[in-house]
């Protein structure tokens, strides 16, 4: 592990052990983020993505709650730039297991597109009937995001709201069982990789 990465992993561990979240700039370099966004999957999102649902048992689509489109990443067939990201997350969960005594086993990640004007209302990432999601991990891909374009992530913390811009290469990590959050509408299409560190083994594929 490079000393830069070691520093980043320590920052994340400190954030999770303290306030329950961390914002890392950058987690992916501009070049790495650009390579991910350049894949066929992201360049023709309408062909590949499907509307995200709500809840685990009931995949009901409710535009009043969320408007994003998603596509799950299969770690076996993922393009090389995404493999780089997945490998870094696996290194991260090994580090957190060792340093915070967690028992994270895998990461589950999807590509995400929020079309212009869409949002995700205030929610928690743990399902009512499934508490395997322990950490939420979101990495943003759009270059040169500007405040007036909207699309901020809001974390609802005990001390108040924290607004985070979806800037290229930035990683936001937080405890899935504790931190309610929301995605504000944007006037620009918004791209990210969204996922969770889970405490169960991957399903056989």
Q: Which residues bind ligand OGA (CB under 6 A)?
A: 120, 125, 138, 153, 181, 183, 192, 194
Binding at 183: pick from Mn ion, ligand OGA, none (beta carbon under 5-8 Å per type): ligand OGA
What's the start-to-end Cα distance of the chain, in Å? 29
* DSSP assignment letter at 143: S
- 194 interface partner picked from ligand OGA, Mn ion, none, CB below 5 to 8 A per type: ligand OGA
What is the per-residue DSSP string for 126-141?
SBTTB--EEEEEEEE-
- How far is it, in rounded angstroms, from Cα 16 to Cα 175? 7
Please work out the total of residues on this chain that contact Mn ion, with binding judged by CB under 5 A. 1
If the CB atoms of residues 88 and 133 are measured against ligand OGA, the closer one turns out to be 133
**Counting Cβ atoms within 10 Å, is residue 167 exposed (0-12), middle (13-18) or buried (19+)?**
middle
- For position 68 contacting Mn ion by CB under 5 A, the verdict is no
Q: Which does 126 bind (CB under 5 to 8 A by kind): Mn ion, ligand OGA, none?
A: none
Shortest CB 204 distance to Mn ion, Å: 27
Contact segment (CB under 5 A) with Mn ion among 1-9, 51-59, 70-78, 124-132 equals 124-132
Stretch that binds Mn ion, among 5-13, 57-65, 91-99, 118-126 (CB under 5 A): 118-126
**With binding defined as CB under 5 A, does residue 125 bind Mn ion?**
yes
Helices (H), 45-155: 45-48, 80-100
Question: Closest residue to Mn ion, Cβ-based?
Answer: 125
User: From CA 79, how far away is CA 119, in angstroms rounded?
Assistant: 27
CB of 182 to Mn ion, least distance (A): 8
Binding of residue 32 to Mn ion (CB under 5 A): no
Q: Which is nearer to Mn ion, 95 or 196 (CB)?
A: 196
Decide if residue 41 touches Mn ion (CB under 5 A).
no
φ, ψ for residue 109 (rounded to 5)?
A: -130, 140
* In the complex, minimum distance from the CB of residue 192 to ligand OGA, in angstroms, rounded to a whole number: 5
Shortest separation between residue 138's beta carbon and ligand OGA, angstroms? 5
CA 22/CA 15 separation, integer angstroms = 5
Binding site for Mn ion (CB under 5 A): 125
């Amino acid at each position: 592990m490079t000393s830069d990465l070691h520093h980043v992993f320590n920052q994340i561990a400190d954030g999770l052990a303290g306030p329950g979240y961390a914002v890392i700039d950058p987690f992916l370099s501009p070049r790495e983020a650009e390579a991910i966004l350049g894949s066929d999957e992201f360049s023709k999102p309408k062909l590949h993505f499907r509307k995200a649902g709500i809840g685990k048992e009931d995949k009901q689509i409710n535009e009043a709650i969320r408007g994003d489109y998603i596509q799950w990443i299969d770690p076996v067939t993922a393009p090389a730039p995404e493999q780089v990201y997945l490998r870094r997350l696996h290194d991260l969960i090994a580090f957190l297991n060792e340093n915070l005594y967690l028992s994270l086993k895998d990461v589950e990640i999807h590509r995400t597109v929020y079309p212009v004007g869409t949002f995700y209302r205030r929610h928690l990432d743990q399902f009512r009937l499934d508490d395997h999601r322990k950490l939420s991990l979101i990495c943003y891909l759009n270059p040169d995001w500007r405040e007036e374009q909207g699309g901020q992530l809001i974390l609802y913390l005990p001390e108040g709201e924290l607004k985070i811009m979806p800037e290229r290469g930035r990683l936001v990590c937080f405890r899935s069982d504790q931190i309610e959050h929301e995605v504000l509408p944007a006037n620009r299409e918004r791209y990210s990789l969204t996922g969770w560190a889970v405490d169960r083994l991957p399903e056989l594929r």
